Structure formats: structure tokens, C-alpha cells
Structure 1
Amino acid sequence: MKNIPEVLIVTSHFWPNVGGVETHLNDLVAALTKRNWNVTVATYTPLARNINVKKFEKKESLTVYRMPWIGNNIVHRLTPYPALEFLYLFPGLFFISLFAILKNPNIKVIHAQGLVPAAVALLLGVLTHRKKLASTHNLYFFPRNGIYKRISRFVFSGMDFVLCLSKQSVEELIRLGVKSDKVILYRYWLDFQVFKHQSKTAVRKRLKVSNSFTAFFFSRLIETKGVKIVLELVKDKKLADINFIIGNIGPFEDEVIKTEKKYQNLKYVGFLKPNEVRSYITASDVVLVPSLVDEGYGRVAMEAIACGTPVLAADRGGLNEVIDLSVGVLAEPSKIDFANVLLDFYNKPEKLIKMRNNTDKYAKKYFSENNVETIIEYYNK
């Protein structure tokens, strides 16, 4: 009887957390189990949200171990302090991962998601003689010197392979000192049974969105994601005929609500479930991604394209690897530049129609589930 391959995914965040990484991990688990892999996940109970969730779950080819840990959103407050974040995340993740391996001795590959899980994988790999890979999901902006940079170099260099989501990320790891033959480029992918074109008219009717030109912004409401730029666009008199929809929560939520009360062309829809995000993407004429910092990749831009909605994104980080001029526009993340592009779209709707007609072919070329084969290839090397 042929042995079924088994992998341990080590991650600080997993379902029912929501976010780009968590969504990708759901996709990864689904793609692996579909290809007859047994998948074990070692993670924490939700750290940023108070959700009751099982500490152990077993469903067919997927097993999940969740370590109870102090939450209360400490993890996000520690983001500016890498050393404290490491000390907070490492211990529990190491012990739950070790427990998972002891309970599932046929695991051959440890796949870490990010720096701290990679440190866990490095130690476990040495102790248990297993292959170890790490995936990066963002850029790290390593300082020129210091212990954070040295530890990061040590950890990533200790991996058998590091899978990077963008060319910028590949270059960052090589500059850090990781050997180039260890650093591999991969892409996220989408389930086209979920992300697909739908009738804009029908979705707008269901959501009670007007037939006016509509721009949608969905991201955590923090300054680096560009929410202040979107609010400035709302207030621009030249854009008064454009409807703006903002989704999600974050520190700028009160400012968004205050702006909504004052300006009729803004609708704030708060926290959205994934299916609701897809609906608002479909209902919109363009999706806005005005990030002020370099994005690792930009999943919401992928999802917009797959749903048939063109993207206006900041020319930052991996976003220019997600879209090209056939399906969107890249611009400097400023109110002036974004306003100029929106006005151009508003006055020349044929441009958006042409882009919309390109989205299906583009998504199937770049975002298909076949992208998982790159990951599996390096599991097996």
C-alpha cells in the first residue's frame, strides 16, 4: 500500500481567524487534501478575537491542534517590537508543534508560515530530522544591522527552502544572506468555484447598492492600508458623483463613521464575511488598494480580478506582480493620483469595460489552483 504523504503546517494564525494568510492556508489545506496529502496544523486559539473554538479537530485528512494562549489582541500591539513578538509567539507554538509531531510520527515535512513559525520549524527539524520549509507572506523591511536581522538570517538560512510570494520578497531574502538556490517564488491561488463573475445588476439589487459608479475599499482600517486616502477621496467635490463603500474594522472606524454621517456618497458596511466581501467586489466598478507600504502580494486585488472587477492599486511591493494594465491601474498612493484615475474611469467607462472583459482570462492564467504544485514540488525535493 502506497504511503500517504503527510505535512505539518506551523502557523500563528489559522481559521477561524480571517485575513489573507488565513484564507491562503484554507486554500492550501484544500488543495493538499484534494491531492491525497494528510495535513496537520499546529497553531494557537485566536489571538486577536475572542472566539470559542475547539482545541483539537479531526476531519478526514485534516487534523488541527490549537494551543490556548493569552489573546486580547496582544499580538497586533507587539508588531512594532519584533523581539517581544517573538517571545510571545514562540513558546506555545513550539510545544503544540512538537506535540503534533509526536502524535503523528509519519509527518515528513514541516511547513512554517512566517518568521516565528520558521524558528519553531528550524528547532523541530533539527530535533526530529525532518525537512523544513518556510513561506513568507509579507515583506520584512529588515534593519541594516542588529539582532533582529541576525536572527532572521539564521532562521531563514536554516530552512531547506523559503517560499516567497513576490519578486521583491525573493530579493529581500537574498539581500538578507539566504542562499539564492533556497529562495523560491510562488503565488497564491483562488477557487474559481467561489471567486467568479456574477451579475452586477442582481448583486447590487440584493445589497441595495445604487447603479452609480461605485468604488470599494476593503482592508483593515489602519493608516498604512490607505484608509485616510479613501476618506479624502470621499470628500473631494470633483468625485461627488462617485459612491464609495468601505468595509472592515480597525482604529479608523470612528473616523469612517463620522465621515459617512457627513457625506452621502460614502457607505460603511463594517466587518464582512468572505462571501459578503465577494458580493461587494462584484457590485463595484473598481476596487481600491491604496496601500502606503509595500504589500507582500495583495490578495484582495486577486479576488477582485477573479470576480471581474478592475483594480486601482498603489504602485507598491508585490501589487505590481498581481495586476497589469490589462486589468487595472497602478498609481502613487496619494489622493491626487487616485482621484485622477477615478475621474478618468468615470468619464471613460469604456476603459473599465475593456479591463473587465480581460479579467477572467487573466485570473485563470495567473491565479489557478495549479500554483500549489510549486509548493508540493519543494515538499518532495
Structure 2
Amino acid sequence: MTITNLAKRIKENLTTKDFTAVCFIAYFKLHLSKGMMLKRGISQNEIYKYINNEENSFNLKSVKNFEAHIRNELNELNNIYGFRFKSMVKSKWDNLGLSVVEEQLQTNKNGIQNIIEIIDKELQPLTIDSIFDLFEELNGSDRGLNDFFTPESISKFISKIVGTKKFGKNINIFDPTIGMGRLIYHSFMELKERYPNSNINIFGIDLNKRFVAISEALLNLVNNQNVFIEEGNTLKNDFGFPQMDICISNPPYEKGIEYTFVEYVKNLHCKSFLILPNAFTFHKNAEKIRKELMNRGLIKTIIQLPEKLFKNTNIQTIIVELDNDPLMKLEKLAIDNKLLFKKIDYSKDVKTQIKEFEEEVIKKECKENTKREINLLELRNKIANDLEKLSNSIKPILLDNEAS
């Protein structure tokens, strides 16, 4: 049965318009499945491999069984961590939909029983992606919650590109508009396969406390203790996050705010992927940031996406890949070698400035110590090579109408 038909049947069994109740029931089933796997000896670091496997599914069976498991989980948290921690988890679960479930259990127990049976028997296999799909289907017509959820196809496509990048033992991945977390979920799964021994930390921000609860809960299923999601305004608040290695985002498209997010992401100085309206390539409102990105060699690729990938909108979209700032590397090179290096004026020709600075550096150093001439020539060649790389990094726009 399709997700659309399942969502229709589920709606028929609820007497509320708040469909997060379904999200909690589906999440809690995966939560119990994870607990069962841990007891069988599967390590926390390898849960991501098994969490979506139907063979590891834990069936809820009945309302009575479901309620008993909720009580047991909360009591166990209280025994291990104390009442304060239990209350914190309960509060997060309420935002995830438990409070709606409790209300329905008081007034519509048969409806909840029917939904449990639908999820147990017909939503197979139950995966994190199927929860994303189900929640989107249930809330797709509600503009209060529908922020044009990122389709699975785009999330997986970006994750494949992310998986080709080189990272170290510690990887910080960030989505400043995380929503339900699908974008960052697929990239995490890809990186985990590519770098199984690396410590991957997930960071995210969203204005909607419900999305914060959903993304935090679902991502914790695969990356426990390394998920840090905050509620708030990304553009106005500093959450004290560390330096990021990669940023992935599908920012809101409203009154040009997406271009403000491009400016924000640019200043993170990390590898980045942004899903933007096609207007970014030509609209006057994006002209300033677009020119700066091109002048600084930060735009690595622009990928044109097919039409009508997003539900409930016909907005044409692109993926913009931003690279690390190559000019920052040149500035660091100068500082590390204790050389004189003026601040680059990005409103003027960048390459001419770098050449002038390079000549000034060598002239000054040669006057102070002629014996270092050979080393300075070597350094000059190094700077010239970096400059050539900078020039090559300003690549032509790639249009791929078949990217998905």
C-alpha cells in the first residue's frame, strides 16, 4: 500500500488535526527496536546498519502493550538518570507527538489501536525514511508545517556527492534549517559508510520546536549522543557550535531570505551544499552575493534540478556547491611565514592584488636578509601554485537536467 493511501486511512482514525501522534507511534516502534538490538549485542556505533531492517522490527501489537512500554521506558530513565532527565525526555516526546497520543488515548482509544495495527502490519519495512514520507504526506496540505520538505531523491543525490569528499577522524556536519532532518540524515549515513571509524557530530537549528523534536529523535536513533539540535533563529542567535566541516541546507524561500542564508553559510568557511530557487543565478536581489562568491572562487558547481521535485510548489530549484575559501588559505600561508599580507579588497580585482602582495613580500624580505633569497623563491612558487589553483577553482556552471 502506498504512503498516500496509508496516510488517508490513518487520518480517518484520528479525531485531531495534529498528526504528530502518528510520528511518535512510528518513532517509538523504532526506538524499541533499537533497544532490542542493543540487548542482542549490536554496538551503538553500528546501529545505523540495522535500524531500518524489517527483521529487527519490534511490533507494538496493542494499545495496552504500547502504553506499558511507554511507562517502562520512562521509569527506566528515572531509575538510571533521575527524575529531572526523565522529565526532559518526556517533554521532548510531547513535542514529538506523545501529548497528542495521550489525548487520543483518552477520547479515541480504538482509533489509536487501528493506527498501531496499520503501522505494525502495513508500514513495512518501517524505516526512518518512511517516517519522513508519512509525516510529509499527513501534513503536506498544512502550510503552517509544510516548508517544502526536501524529497528523498535530492537528499540521497547530495549525500553521494558528500561521500566523495575527504574528511578526518572528526566530522562536524551542519544544517542551519534542519526541518525534519532528512537532508542531514542521508549525508550522515553515507559518511558513516565511508568513514566508519570517524566520530561524526550532527548539528542543526530550526525555528519550529516540533521539527527540532522530530529531527533530534530520528537522528539519535542512528547517532546517539552525537546529535545537537537547537531551537531558534539561525540568523540572529549564536549557539556556540564548533567549526563545521560540511553544511547542507534547504533554506526557506521567502522574500529573498534564502540569499541571506547563502551569506551566512559562506561565512562558515566549509564545504557546503545549498538547495536554492533557480532565481539565484539571475535575480537582482542575489547579484551582490553571487558576484562575491564568483570573485572569490567559492562556487564549485551549480546543478540544475528537474522540475516538480517538491510537492505543493512549482519552484525551479538548483543545488549550489560552495568550496572552502581558497583565499583564506593564501592569507594563512602568508601569516604562517610571518610575511606582510594586506587585507584583500574583494570589490577590486583579486588576482592583481595577490600578485602585488607577493612582489611586495619578496622585495621586503630580500632587503632584510639576502641569504634567504632561495627560500623566498621557493615560497613565491608555492604562492604562484596556490594562485593557479584559485584560478582553476572558478569552474564553469554545470547544468545537469537529469540530476536527481
Same fold (TM over 0.5): no
Larger Rg: 2
Of Structure 1 and Structure 2, the greater helix share is in: 2
Output the TM-score relative to the length of structure 1. Answer: 0.29
Structure 1 or 2: more strand by fraction? 1
